[in-house]
Amino acid sequence: MDRRFALKNLTLSGMGLALSPALLSALEGCTPAYDPGYVLQSLSPAQDQLLAQLVEIIIPTTETPGARAAGVNQYIDRVFARVSEPNEKTKFLNGLDKLSETDFLEMNEVEQIETLRSWEKSSDPLESEFFSTLKDMTIYGYYTSEIGASQELKYVHATGFYNGDLPYDEIGKNFY
Amino acid sequence: MNNFEIKKQPQKYDAIVIGSGISGGWAAKELCEKGLKTLVLERGRPIEHRTDYITEHKAPWDFDLRGDLTREEKKEYSQNARIGYLDKTALHFFAKDSESPYLEEKPFVWARGYQVGGKSITWGRYTFRISEMDFEANKMDGNGVDWPIRYNDIAPWYTYVEKFAGISGEKLGLSHLPDGDFQKPMDLNVVEKHIRKRFQEEYNDRYLTIARAAVLTEQIGDRAPCHYCGPCWRGCSTGSYFSSVSSTLPAAEATGNLTIRPYSVAHSIMYDKNSGKASGVVVIDSETKETIEFNADLVFVCASAMASTQILMNSKSDTFSEGIGNTSGVLGRYLMDHHLGLEINATMPGFEDKTTMGNRPVGFYIPRYRNLNGQEPMSEFIRGYGWEGSAYRESWGKAYGLDGFGADFKKEVQQAGPWQVGMWGFGETLPYYDNHVRLHESETDELGIPKLVFNAEIKDNEKSMRRDSLATMAEMLEKAGCQDIEAIDNPAGAVPGFGIHEMGTARMGRDPKTSYLNGYNQSHEVSNLFVTDGACMTSSPCQNPSITYMALTARAVDYAIDQKKKRNI
C-alpha cells in the first residue's frame, strides 16, 4: 500500500514520526473496494444489481478496474441511507425503477449505452436529472475510492518534498 | 498531558488562563516559564498530541461516506455547515451548534473548537505581521479609536513568537507587510512563478509570494519539517505546524507549573470590590455540572474573541452591572471579521508539460496593494484587502464538466487538465458601533449561561472594496496571461464569522471611556485582568491575525509580571 510505504520511508528518513496505535489502526481500516459481504442500507438487491451495472457503464473497467469493482454502487447505497434527504432518495429511486421497467439488465451493452445516452439528453427531467445525479455520484464515488484514486489516478501521500516544476510525463496522468 | 486538576477544593493559582487555543497556549507558556503556577481552563475535551489526530494520514476511501456529513451531523452543525468545507475529516475538532447554541439576529457563522488546543488545531496557519500603516489607520481616517500601540511596540514580540512558532516565508522588504524571522520558504510552482514575474513586469506595487505560514521547513526541537501530506487541520504527528498542542502547551508543561483542566466552562470572572481586582473564575464542570470557584492573582481571558466577551459580559457584580470592567459600555461593540467570498477562478494556458508533486499545505499570497502610503487614496473606499490562492493542474474534478461517459470519458479524466488559478480575498472590515454581540435576556445554554446574540454585517465601505478587489484581480490575472477568468462575489462568504477571524468587542484604546483594554491588553478598570485574543483588536487589518494575538499575548504576560513585581497589580 502506497501510504504505508510513504510512512515507512518517513520514519526511516528520520522525520521523527511516531506511529501511534490510532495511526496504525487507521492504516489497517481500509474499505477500498467492492465488498461481497456488504449489507444494503437503502436499496433492494434488485435495485443494487441495476445500479452496479449503471455505474460500470459510466466508468467501465479498462486497463484499470471500473466503478463496480470500486464498490461505487455500495457507496451510493450508503449515501442514500445516511446523507441524502428522503426526497432526493425518492427521486433517484423513481428513476431507477423507471429504468428497470425497460428491462435494462436484459439489454446488450450497446443497447444499455444507447438508453443511458438518451436519458442524458432527455427532455423529461426525471430521466435527465436521474442521469446527472447518477453520473455525479459515480464520479465522486469512483475517484475517491482506492481503485479510482490510486490505480486509475496517481495517489501520493507524504512525499516529504514539494516539486513545483515536474515534467508531466514523469507522472503521465492526474493526481488524485 | 496527565496532570488534570480534579480537586474540588482547589489551591490558589498565580494565574488562570481561560482557553487553550493560540492565545491561551501562549499565555500559559509565558506565565509558566516565568515561574507562575498557572491553571488553564478549557471547556472542551482533552487532546493528546499525536494519539488524538484520529483522521491524520487517512485516505479518502478510509471514510465510508468519503467525508460527507450524515443527515444527523448536518443538523448538529446546522449553523456551521455554511462554512462549506466542514467535513468528516475534521468534524471532531468543531463544536456542535446543537450543543452550543447561539442566536443570529443577523447571519453569523460562529466556528468554535471545544478541545485542548482550541482552533489552533484547525487554523489556516498563515501568519502576517500587521504594519505601522495598519496601527495608524484608525487615527488617520477617523474610524474607530486610535490603537494605543504602534508597530515598534509589537515588532520585537513578533520576532519572539515567530522564532518559537516557526514561520516559513519569504522576506519582501515591504513596509506594509513587515518581514519577520522566517525559516526558508516553501516553493512556488512554475505557474505561480510566472504570474509573480508578470506582476513584477506590469506593476511596481503588486507582489506574489509564498504565504508566510506557521509550517516548518526546518527542524525546531522535536518538531520536524513538513512532510507534505497536505491536510494540516487533521492534526500533525510530527508537530510540523504550530498548534498549542504541539508547541506552547508542551513548553508550559515542561516547567512543572502548568495545570490544564478540561471540561471546565468559564461561567464568569469574580470581582473583589475591596481590592478592586478580579479574584478568580467561576467554572462549571461540563461533566459533573458542579460549579467550582478557582482563585488567582492574574486572569488572562483567551477564550476566542466572541467567547471571551461572552464571559466578560456574564461577569456581573454590584460594581459592574454590565460585565466586569465595562463601565464604558463598549464591551461587545465594534465586532469585526474579514469579509470573504471574493472568489477568482481562471485558466493559465501553456505549461502543459509541467505538473507538481507533493501536497503543499501553503498557497501564495498577494499582499494589499490599495490605499498604501505614497499611493493616491481610493475615492470609493478606505483600507484594503489581500489575496490567497494557488495554481494547480485541473484534476479529476474536470469529470463534472465533461459530457458523456464510458471508456473514452474515463481516459480523458485520467489526463490532467489545464493549469488553473484559484484565489480568495480577505478584506478589512471597519469597526462599526452597530456591529455587536450581546447576551440574550432570557435564553441560556444547558449550563445556564446566557446565549450570545450576533448582530453584525458588512457595510458600504466593504461592499465598495469587494467590487474593486474582483475587478482589479481579474485585470491583473488577464495581464498575467490567464483566460476564462471568473470573478465571483459570493455573499455567503461575506457573512460575518465566515472568515473565522472574529475581532474586536473588547478593543484596545487610549481612553477608558471608548475602549475596554489599554495598550498592554489590560482592562482599564481591573488591573489584573487581561484579554489577549482577537477580542482586543482595535481595527481589522486584512492580514490573517493569529500571529498578532501570539505577539500581543507574550507582550501582555511580560508586562503583567513586571507590574506584579512592582506591586502595581
Assess whether pLDDT exceeds 60 at residue A66.
yes
Number of other CB atoms surrounding residue B106 within 10 Å:
13
Chain A CB contacts of B58 below 8 Å: 26
Of B206, B294, B216, the C-alpha closest to B15 is B294
For chain B, how are helix, strand and coil distributed in percent, rounded to 5?
A: 25, 20, 50
* Interchain contact, B237 vs A20, CB within 8 Å: yes
Compare all CA atoms of chain B with the CA of A167 and give the residue at the minimum distance.
B354
The answer to whether B323 and B535 are in contact (CB under 8 A) is no
Say what the pLDDT of residue A61 is.
98
Compare all CA atoms of chain B with the CA of A157 and give the residue at the minimum distance.
B229
The answer to whether B241 and B125 are in contact (CB under 8 A) is yes
The CA-atom distances, in angstroms, between A4 and each of A19, A33, A156, B235, B493 are 11, 18, 11, 18, 38
* Interchain contact, B59 vs A15, CB within 8 Å: no
Q: Does A74 touch chain B (CB under 8 A)?
A: no
- Which band of pLDDT confidence, cut at 50, 70 and 90, is reported for residue A32? low
- pLDDT tens digits along B287-320: 999 999 999 999 999 999 999 999 999 999 999 9
Beta strands in B411-490 (DSSP E): 419-427, 436-444, 450-455, 483-489
Chain B CB contacts of A152 below 8 Å: 410, 414
The per-residue pLDDT of chain B, averaged, comes to 96
Of B527, B531, B532, the C-alpha closest to B567 is B527
Assess whether pLDDT exceeds 70 at residue A20.
no
Chain A CB contacts of B52 below 8 Å: 22
- pLDDT tens digits along B88-104: 999 999 999 999 999 99
For chain B, how far is it from start to end, CA to CA, in angstroms? 31
- The one-letter code for the residue type at A172 is G
Chain A CB contacts of B236 below 8 Å: none
Assess whether pLDDT exceeds 90 at residue B5.
no
The answer to whether B148 and B518 are in contact (CB under 8 A) is yes
Say what the pLDDT of residue A149 is.
97
- pLDDT tens digits along B20-51: 999 999 999 999 999 999 999 999 999 999 99
DSSP, residue by residue, B49-82: TTTT-TTTT--GGGSTTTTPPPHHHHHHTTTGGG
Q: Which ipTM was obtained for this model?
A: 0.93
Of A136, A116, A140, the C-alpha closest to A54 is A116
Cα B509 from Cα B328, distance rounded (Å): 12
The answer to whether B327 and A124 are in contact (CB under 8 A) is no
CA atoms within 13 A on the CB side of A18: 12
- pLDDT tens digits along B143-152: 999 999 999 9
Name the packing angle between helices A125-143 and A109-120 (round to 10°): 110
Chain A CB contacts of B411 below 8 Å: 62
- Which band of pLDDT confidence, cut at 50, 70 and 90, is reported for residue A12? very low
The answer to whether B384 and B224 are in contact (CB under 8 A) is no
| Element spanning A25, H or E | helix A21-28
Which pTM value belongs to this model? Answer: 0.94
The answer to whether B361 and B123 are in contact (CB under 8 A) is no
Nearest by CB to A156, from B70, B358, B414: name it.
B358
CA distance A84 to chain B (A): 7
Say what the pLDDT of residue A29 is.
40
Of A101, A83, A92, the C-alpha closest to A43 is A92
- pLDDT tens digits along B44-60: 999 999 999 999 999 99
Q: Does B400 touch chain A (CB under 8 A)?
A: yes
* Interchain contact, A20 vs B411, CB within 8 Å: no
Assess whether pLDDT exceeds 50 at residue A137.
yes
Compare all CA atoms of chain B with the CA of A109 and give the residue at the minimum distance.
B406
* Interchain contact, B51 vs A17, CB within 8 Å: no
The CA-atom distances, in angstroms, between B419 and each of B31, B109, B359, B481 are 49, 33, 16, 12
* Interchain contact, A31 vs B395, CB within 8 Å: no
The answer to whether B372 and B243 are in contact (CB under 8 A) is no
Beta strands in A3-135 (DSSP E): none
Mean pLDDT over B75-100 rounds to 93
Cα B139 from Cα B86, distance rounded (Å): 38
- Which band of pLDDT confidence, cut at 50, 70 and 90, is reported for residue B11? confident
Mean pLDDT over B110-121 rounds to 98
Nearest by CB to B227, from A136, A158, A171: name it.
A158
For chain A, how are helix, strand and coil distributed in percent, rounded to 5?
A: 60, 5, 40
The CA-atom distances, in angstroms, between B21 and each of A81, A98, A168, B198, B408 are 37, 54, 42, 40, 50
Cα B569 from Cα B562, distance rounded (Å): 9
